[in-house]
Amino acid sequence: MTDRLYIFDTTLRDGEQSPGASMNTAEKLRLAVQLEKLGVDIIEAGFPAASEGDFDAVAQIAGKLKRATVAGLCRTAKDDIDKAWGAVQHAAKPRIHTFIATSDIHMKYKLNMSREQVVTTAVEAVKYAKAFTDNVEFSAEDGSRSDRDFLCKVFAAAIEAGATTVNLPDTVGYAIPEEFAELAKYIMTHTPNIDKAVLSVHCHNDLGLATANTLAAISAGARQAEVTINGIGERAGNTSLEEVIMAIQTRQNFLPLTTNINAKHIYPSSRLVSLITGIMVQPNKAIVGANAFAHEAGIHQDGVLKNPMTYEIMSPETIGLNTNKLVLGKHSGRHALRSHLKEMGYDLSDDELQIVFKQFKALADKKKHVMDEDLEALVTEGLLRTADIFKLQYLHVTCGTTVLPMASVQMSINDRPLKDAGYGNGPIDAAFNTIAKMTNTDSELLRFTVSALTGGTDAQGEVTVRLKENGLIALGKGADADVVTASAKAYVNGLNRLEYLKTHPRTAAQNL
């Protein structure tokens, strides 16, 4: 059996199913480029039948990427498969990924189909997809709760019909590692033609076991791991890419596998996903959390100073974490900014550089040391949100112990300038109330968090808000040296995301 493990990243599809994590097309494109740079083999770019926006984003990603395979997800219906192919057809390496549920509970209550009907439908779908491309993946949704002999039967039929990858999902995050490894082994030994396909696994994290289950299945013979950056995804999320990769790299004695991933791009990719989706990484998250390499106990600090390997099983540098390396300052010019951004993976056009340079200069006036994290925030805010309909242009707040907090705000709404002022019980409340009035929105603020983007008292504040309006939920993120401005930026970003969701409704199909 080969020791090559294929990494299939579904941050743009399953990851986008995290509540509030919708991304616009520019953001998806930027992330896809980063995933390719990270060395991901297959990028599941979206679910083209779900909406026109999804179709468009997948098509643009397919047209842009050079090395990675671009997959489009679809159900087994011909119309879905047509849309998936329509979106990925111009990729250098396209893949159609079709799925149908195989567990008794899903077949009975969701599909209302018999086992035989499911096998026939799966076979027809794979054959139909195969007429478009040789690269077809078939997934048995809720595979971990399916009858194992039936699962082998469906996989055998799908492979016979032309599937080159068969995927075993633990859709509801129910599996236990030992059990899941046994199931993978059973499939490897009881599916007669399994040697003609790659066995893939796709785990959800409802019991916190997604990575453990994935690694267990890999040990049993699976050779494709479906993962997301930071483990984002439906409900409790998916297996996280960084955990699988670093487990393999750190424990080669147990997992003697190779991948195409360049681990140095893990941390920048994690930051980018967090910046784009607004979903913060929990501080104690393995590999990419803020505390993952922090040593608090004196004995540990002492040990690490004497020899890092006493308490560090991997070094932060291996994942591209260069502890707030000083990069640029107020005397840095356009050329230095461009080449540093290029090193970080942002290849900007002249017009884009102009926008970011202006913001960089403004920031460098307020903050002596401009770090990679600051630049990322500038690029994300300046370039990836150009389609926003609400733009914050000016904010002035008055507050203190003797005045009623007041905010004066200037915005452009659909390119129309607007000014207003309003009160609140504090400067942030005053800013939010005024912005809500000007945008004519009525969202509920579900969560508000603030953290420092880098170290130092002059660090930019990074604010995340979670907003709800008419049942839609969106996250917003903003960074600024002034925390009230960062809050207003985050709020406006959240409102823009809500507007995007209003105009790009998720179909039932997208909520798998």
Residue 343 CA: distances (Å) to CA of 248, 315, 335: 27, 21, 12
Least separation in angstroms between residue 17's CB and ligand KIV is 8
- The SS3 of residue 6 is strand
Query: Sign of torsion, CA 204 207 209 211?
Result: positive
CB atoms under 10 Å from CB of 467, counted, come to: 25
**Closest residue to Zn ion: CB criterion:** 14
Q: By CB under 5 A, what part of segment 413-452 binds Zn ion?
A: none
Site stretch for ligand KIV (CB under 6 A), options 164-172, 209-217, 273-281, 442-450: 164-172
Report H helices in 162-255: 177-190, 210-219, 241-250
CB of 418 or CB of 512, closer to Zn ion: 512
Structure tokens, 347: 């290849």
Q: Which is nearer to Zn ion, 17 or 496 (CB)?
A: 17
> How far is 337 from 339, CA to CA, in rounded Å?
6
- Beta strands 416-423 and 406-413 are antiparallel
- Residue 450: which of Zn ion, ligand KIV, none does it interact with, CB under 5 to 8 A by kind? none
139 binds ligand KIV (CB under 6 A): yes
Which residues are registered as beta bridge partners of 480? 461
Q: How many Å apart are CA 140 and CA 156, to the nearest integer?
A: 12
Instruction: Kindly identify the residues of this chain, within the stretch 2-41, that bind Zn ion according to CB under 5 A.
Output: 14
Site track for ligand KIV across 177-206, x = CB under 6 A: -------------------------x-x--
The least distance separating Zn ion from the CB of residue 512, rounded to whole angstroms, comes to 7
With CA atoms as reference, report the closest residue to 241 among 103, 35, 50.
35
Q: Which does 44 bind (CB under 5 to 8 A by kind): ligand KIV, Zn ion, none?
A: none
Total chain residues near ligand KIV (CB under 6 A) = 10
* Three-class secondary structure of residue 371 per DSSP: strand
The partner in contact with residue 304, picked from Zn ion, ligand KIV, none with C-beta cut-offs of 5 to 8 angstroms by kind, is none
- Please, which residue, 14 or 36, has the CB nearer to Zn ion? 14
48 binds ligand KIV (CB under 6 A): no
Which residue, 174 or 448, has its beta carbon nearer to ligand KIV? 174
Which residue number, 167 or 493, has a Cβ lying nearer to ligand KIV?
Answer: 167
Considering only residues 484 to 503 of the shown chain, the ones binding Zn ion according to CB under 5 A are none
Please identify which residue in 14, 243, 388, 480 interacts with ligand KIV, judged by CB under 6 A: 14
- Region at 157 (left for phi over 0; alpha for psi -120 to 50; beta for the rest): alpha
Q: Is 99 in the site for ligand KIV (CB under 6 A)?
A: yes
Cβ count near 302 (within 10 Å): 12
Of these partners, Zn ion, ligand KIV, none, which one is at the site of residue 286 (CB under 5 to 8 Å by kind)? none
Token readout for 503 is 């105009």
Starting at the edge strand found earlier in the chain, the sheet holding 444-452 runs 444-452, 461-469, 472-480
Closest CA to 267 of 256, 277, 281: 281
Q: Return the number of the residue (14 or 137) whose C-beta is nearest Zn ion.
A: 14
Q: Select the residue interacting with ligand KIV from 16, 54, 141, 372 (CB under 6 A).
A: 141
Question: How many whole angstroms separate alpha carbon 85 and alpha carbon 91?
Answer: 10
Instruction: Figure out which of the listed residues 98, 171, 443, 487 binds ligand KIV, where binding follows CB under 6 A.
Output: 171
Which does residue 99 bind out of Zn ion, ligand KIV, none, counting CB within 5 to 8 angstroms by kind?
ligand KIV
For 253, list phi and psi in degrees, rounded to 5: -65, -30
| Binding site partner of 141, from Zn ion, ligand KIV, none, Cβ cut-off 5-8 A by kind | ligand KIV
* H/E element, 44: strand 42-46
Residue 445 partner contact from Zn ion, ligand KIV, none using kind-dependent CB cut-offs of 5 to 8 Å: none
- Options 51-59, 166-174, 215-223, 387-395: segment touching ligand KIV (CB under 6 A): 166-174
Q: Which residues bind ligand KIV (CB under 6 A)?
A: 14, 99, 139, 141, 167, 169, 171, 202, 204, 512
Q: Which residues bind Zn ion (CB under 5 A)?
A: 14
